[in-house]
Structure 1
Amino acid sequence: MNILHPNPDRLVTDMLDGFVRSHPGLARLPGTQVIVRSQLDQKVGLVSGGGSGHEPAHAGYVGYGMLDAAVAGQIFTSPTPNEVLNAIRAVDRGLGVLLIIKNYTGDVMNFEMAAELAQDEGIAVEKVIVADDVAVENSTFTIGRRGVAGTVFVHKIAGASAQRGDSLQEVKRIADKVAARVFSMGLALSPCILPTTGKPSFDLPAGEVEIGIGIHGEPGVRRGSIAPLTELVDMLIDRVAAESSLQKSDEVALMINGMGATPLAELGVCAHHAMARLDQIGVKIHKSLLGEYMTSLNMAGFSITVLKLDSELKSLLDETTHAPAWR
């Protein structure tokens, strides 16, 4: 497959520079791969991040009402503890910092190490680990369920909590609440192509679909012949509904997330069928998000995320944010 960027070694750093120049409210910490808000408020700081290749995550969620900093690793590689520590230092305003971590072994280890270093410097640090992928209990990258697109809902709601002036412990409580109530599952029609090698992350014959894929190019839990889209969507919705114990009259936020190479037209069809299936269950959809929120480079496919809401989470979800990737 042809790749536009001629030098994979500079892909991440050039991407970050281009992103910052395209969004005046953001800045890059000199000498790092950390993106921060240009103007920080006197509040609890929020930091997230992970390997690159998931754009617009994570830098796209830096802004008023969401993250204060995002730390970018190399493609599908966790950022180092020192990079995370730089982000913590940059956003701390004396009220503490919350780390939002997707459940991957490298991310958890490096973010927790950075938290310990920051605490040694007198910075109060808390964390929430997001594990919303219902497809698998364990994988190559994780012990326990993976953190995927549902992490964006944690960014949004915890960000609103911090923005209104909540304490570190209160922001953590709300973030943990979201993490416990968000559920995701995805599928792929093609693997992603790694820019470092130009090769696919796994083999998928034409006419087959991979069910339960991860966001690092991981293969899924099973594969089969491509079924009608209604059947594929119903399968994902039903699995998410079962894992989340969705019941009639529950109120939810729904995210239809493209994996990087699925046309918006096809995602729109997915959204149509997903909402129809939730209507059949009797679930009320408070908010529906459609687009690319956490991708896997150029993988063709999509994921479905459902967040079970209550009045507290619904109010925070509806608060204003200026983060460029929240639509």
Structure 2
Amino acid sequence: MKKFLNTPETYVADSLAGLAAAHLTLTVVRGDTGDPGEGAPFVRRTAPTRPGKVALVSGGGSGHEPLHGGFVGVGMLDAACPGEVFTSPVPGQLLAATRAVDAGAGVVLVVKNYTGDVLNFQMGAELAAEEAGIAVETVLVDDDVAVQDSTWTAGRRGTGATVFVEKIAGALAERGAELAAVADMGRRVNAYARSFAVALTACTTPANGRPGFLLPDDEMEVGVGIHGEPGRRRAKLATAAEVAELALDAILAEPVFAQTGGGGADAADVIVMVNGLGATPLAELYILFHEVSRLLAGRGVTIVRSLVGNYVTSLDMAGASFTLCRVDDEMLELWDAPVNTPALRWGM
């Protein structure tokens, strides 16, 4: 294993210290709640939450950067709770973050559908309601169409659509919408977004020091999860055009994209994200996006906005994920609203 680190034990803490040092709009706070997980860190906006604004809190295991700390800022999250690498944040940590950013209008928790995340966020929400009297709504992200159940979760995994939920719901919260409206928007985005990923290599966690699985040079993992979980199948290495087509076939088969009665994609406006899993060159992501744009044009689907780059990674995994989110005028307007975070910034 070759990594830029001090020790595996301080990997997350040192990374968070660097995040805060690089971005003065962010502060790393150590929770002090008296609960298990006391002292576990969270990232919040340095500026206090505007009175009466609904706050958004998300989080999950570290190793997926810039998710989630890189999306803390104006127009997106108010706080993010990082766990250890590929490990859920703990309830006390979530309680501390929720308390810190609540400004009287309540808090929306954005949770990826992994068993540990779901259980700990649920306990954190209950603590916030019972001990602090904070109104909490939860948005569950389960956009991965590759598998129904996996090593890490019951039901579909939460992956790339998390970025879309945090951006669009975050913009609505920034405008002063009420708690229920912000949560409903987050659920609406999740309902209209689907993802699929392909890996060429496994990732190596700092604590383990070796790849999570081995792939022969001429094979790829089709439908991989962001922790390196197995996908639908192993397959022979394919061209970029073939990879894009198999991902889009899986995504566009979903009812939200399919015509009534089946038979392919209906005319639709979509935001597309071609996301690197950590070790894929940007040039290759653009090759994949070119193929996606060509294929979607042939199916009557219009790309109205796009992201190409590293947004939801898996440490040093070579691979890519594809996320499509069908949007209406309101969702697109919220997507275009100003945002100022380390990983997304426009309109400011």
* TM-score bracket relative to the smaller structure: over 0.9
Partner of 2:162: 151
Correspondent of 2:277 among 259, 278, 295? 259
Partner of 1:72: 82
Partner of 1:109: 119
Cα displacement (A) at 1:205: 1.1
2:53 aligned with 1:41:
no
Partner of 1:8: 8
Letter in 1 for 2:219: E
RMSD between aligned alpha carbons?
Answer: 1.0
Identical pairs, percent: 49
Cα displacement (A) at 1:227: 1.3
Letter in 1 for 2:170: G
Cα displacement (A) at 1:218: 1.1
Q: Which runs of 5+ in 2 are unaligned?
A: 31-38, 259-264
Letter in 1 for 2:26: L
User: Secondary structure at the residue paired with 1:101?
Assistant: strand
What per-residue deviation string (whole Å, max 9, x for no partner) do you get for residues 40-85 of structure 1?
A: 2220010000000000010000000000000000000001000011
- Equivalence map 1:23-172=2 (5 Å): 23-30=23-30, 31-39=39-47, 40-42=49-51, 43-120=53-130, 121-172=132-183
Cα displacement (A) at 1:33: 1.6
2:245 aligned with 1:227:
no
Cα displacement (A) at 1:249: 2.3
Correspondent of 2:292 among 274, 280, 302? 274
TM-score, structure 2 normalization: 0.92
User: Secondary structure at the residue paired with 2:189?
Assistant: helix
Cα displacement (A) at 1:245: 2.4
Greater mean deviation of Cα atoms: 216-225 or 109-118: 216-225
2:322 aligned with 1:294:
no
Correspondent of 1:238 among 249, 258, 267? 249
Letter in 2 for 1:38: T
Cα displacement (A) at 1:6: 3.3
Contact preservation (8 Å) 1:202, 1:218:
no
Letter in 2 for 1:181: Y
CA distance in 2 between partners of 1:288 and 1:49 (Å): 24
Letter in 2 for 1:59: G
CA distance in 2 between partners of 1:219 and 1:4 (Å): 27
> How many residues are paired up?
327
Moved over 3 A (4+): none
2:184 aligned with 1:173:
yes
Cα displacement (A) at 1:32: 3.4
Contact preservation (8 Å) 2:257, 2:266:
no
Letter in 2 for 1:2: K
Partner of 1:185: 196
User: Secondary structure at the residue paired with 1:56?
Assistant: coil
Cα displacement (A) at 1:248: 3.5
User: Secondary structure at the residue paired with 1:190?
Assistant: coil
Partner of 2:322: 304
Cα displacement (A) at 1:224: 1.2
User: Secondary structure at the residue paired with 1:224?
Assistant: strand
CA distance in 2 between partners of 1:171 and 1:33 (Å): 26
User: Secondary structure at the residue paired with 1:48?
Assistant: strand
TM-score, structure 1 normalization: 0.98
User: Secondary structure at the residue paired with 1:273?
Assistant: helix
What per-residue deviation string (whole Å, max 9, x for no partner) do you get for residues 118-137 of structure 1?
A: 10121000100000000000
Letter in 1 for 2:178: S
2:324 aligned with 1:314:
no
Letter in 2 for 1:20: A
Letter in 1 for 2:257: S
User: Secondary structure at the residue paired with 1:238?
Assistant: helix
